[in-house]
Chain A
Amino acid sequence: MFLFIASEIMLFGSFFTAYFFIRIVNGVPWPTPPYHLPVFVATINTFILMTSSATMHWATTSIKRGNVWGMRAGLLLTFLMGLAFLIAQLFEYMRAGFNTSDGAFPTIFFCLTGLHSCHVFIGLAILAIMTIRAWRGHFTAEHHHGVEIGGIYWHFVDVMWIVVFTTVYIL
């Protein structure tokens, strides 16, 4: 797990290094005029993702208590909210008004948020498998390692979004 965390820190770290270089060393305003970041949509998306972490935690605590339906509902809600986040992110990209060829700012914006979206996409694939397995009765109060590991990954993705959201959209 430490190796996974270290590799992810290095991956995101390289993108954040480019971001801070563009923003601080060049001394240009962020976002570069005339562009604007859709902060409101991103804030709504943040709340969606944070709520999905809560439902993920609900799913895990439910199965630990033997509440299979609680786990199924929690996993399904987490998947739907993750999907909503990804769809909203795609709409944000389409309506952003800039593209990767428009300079360093859009490039690093798409790289950072896109890297995170890739993680969400992988998380959704894991969640889909977990949800199907949950409906097939693969998890019990004693055997739910699959839910536990998927939950850790999903919370990690949310932690990374908090960092991306804070640095790219808010500060």
Chain B
Amino acid sequence: MRNPLRSEAEAYRFLWVVIGGAAVIIAAAFINTWLGVAVAVLVFGALGWWLMKEPQPGAADPPPVVASGPPPGTRRVLVVAPPGTEAVTVPDGAEVLVVVPALASTREAFTGTADDRRDEAEATAAALESRLPGARVEVGAADPALAVEAALRVFGADEVLVAGDDGMLEAIRERVALPVSRV
């Protein structure tokens, strides 16, 4: 959906669309009140359809692929472990950062239950931290791909290991220009 007040030029155009819609409703209402109501419903529907149809600038562009690399002479592995993960196997001799995304649906985000998901993620992170000495464990964003993207900005890695399902694996593969495989 495109914001009709995104820029001054678009707001000015939206004003004329509203004036046109109001003129049509007024004309119909003068003929018959119920015709006016019907036309108002149609105008509001058309306005909503137009706003939904208008593409958001840049929305069709593919998301930028994040490239990342470790400092010379080191091997770094980024592990993505969804909440509930009990154990992960990490390569020996590598610097490891484990990210636990606080997975939450849109409904959970709106109803505030996203906080419960974050609590679960924090509990998983605490458990993994005790089982992986030397590894850093953090809680990430609700979107696993976004959590990986954020982690790679501060932790340049050689590869990404995913302990989640195929959907999570594919979403991360699409987002990063690094080898992504299952733990």
A interface, CB within 8 angstroms of B: 1-2, 5, 50, 53, 56-57, 60-61, 147-148, 151-152, 155-156, 158-159, 162-163, 165-166, 170-171
Q: How far is A2 from B12 in the complex, measured between Cα atoms in Å?
A: 17
Given the interface contacts A166-B25, A166-B26, A171-B29, does A151 sit within 8 Å of B18 by beta carbon? Answer: no
Which residues of chain B have C-beta atoms less than 8 A from A5's C-beta? Answer: 3, 5
Given the interface contacts A155-B12, A156-B11, does A170 sit within 8 Å of B6 by beta carbon? Answer: no
Which of A56, A57, A166 counts the most B-chain CB atoms under 10 A from its CB?
A166
- Contact assessment for B22 and A57 in the assembled complex, using a CB-CB cutoff below 8 Å: no
- Contact assessment for B25 and A152 in the assembled complex, using a CB-CB cutoff below 8 Å: no
Which residues of chain A have C-beta atoms less than 8 A from B59's C-beta? Answer: none
Chain B: residues with Cβ within 8 Å of the partner, total of 17
Query: B65 at the A/B interface (Cβ < 8 Å)?
Result: no
Q: Which of B1-15 contact A (CB under 8 A)?
A: 3, 5-9, 11-12, 14-15
CB distance from A149 to the nearest CB of B (A): 8
Given the interface contacts A1-B5, A1-B6, does A151 sit within 8 Å of B22 by beta carbon? Answer: no
B interface, CB within 8 angstroms of A: 3, 5-9, 11-12, 14-15, 18-19, 22, 25-26, 29, 36
Which residues of chain B have C-beta atoms less than 8 A from A53's C-beta? Answer: 12, 15
- Contact assessment for B3 and A2 in the assembled complex, using a CB-CB cutoff below 8 Å: yes
CB distance from B55 to the nearest CB of A (A): 16
CB distance from A122 to the nearest CB of B (A): 16
Contact for B8 among A2, A148, A158, A162, CB less than 8 A: A148
- Contact assessment for A162 and B3 in the assembled complex, using a CB-CB cutoff below 8 Å: no
Which residues of chain A have C-beta atoms less than 8 A from B11's C-beta? Answer: 151-152, 155-156, 159
Which residues of chain A have C-beta atoms less than 8 A from B29's C-beta? Answer: 170-171
- Contact assessment for B14 and A159 in the assembled complex, using a CB-CB cutoff below 8 Å: yes
Given the interface contacts A57-B12, A151-B11, does A163 sit within 8 Å of B22 by beta carbon? Answer: yes
Closest to A171 in B: B29
- Contact assessment for B15 and A158 in the assembled complex, using a CB-CB cutoff below 8 Å: yes
Q: How far is A163 from B142 in the complex, measured between Cα atoms in Å?
A: 40
- Contact assessment for B19 and A162 in the assembled complex, using a CB-CB cutoff below 8 Å: yes
Given contacts A155-B8, A156-B11, 7 further A-B contacts (CB under 8 A): A1-B3, A50-B15, A50-B19, A53-B12, A162-B19, A166-B25, A171-B36
Contact for A159 among B3, B18, B26, B36, CB less than 8 A: B18
- Contact assessment for B7 and A148 in the assembled complex, using a CB-CB cutoff below 8 Å: yes
Q: How far is A50 from B12 in the complex, measured between Cα atoms in Å?
A: 10
- Contact assessment for B8 and A152 in the assembled complex, using a CB-CB cutoff below 8 Å: yes
Q: How far is A155 from B7 in the complex, measured between Cα atoms in Å?
A: 10
- Contact assessment for B14 and A155 in the assembled complex, using a CB-CB cutoff below 8 Å: yes
Contact for B15 among A61, A162, A165, A170, CB less than 8 A: A162
24 contacts between A and B (CB under 8 A): A1-B5, A1-B6, A2-B3, A5-B5, A50-B15, A57-B8, A57-B9, A61-B9, A148-B7, A151-B11, A151-B12, A152-B5, A152-B7, A152-B8, A152-B11, A155-B5, A155-B11, A155-B12, A159-B11, A159-B15, A159-B18, A162-B22, A170-B29, A171-B25
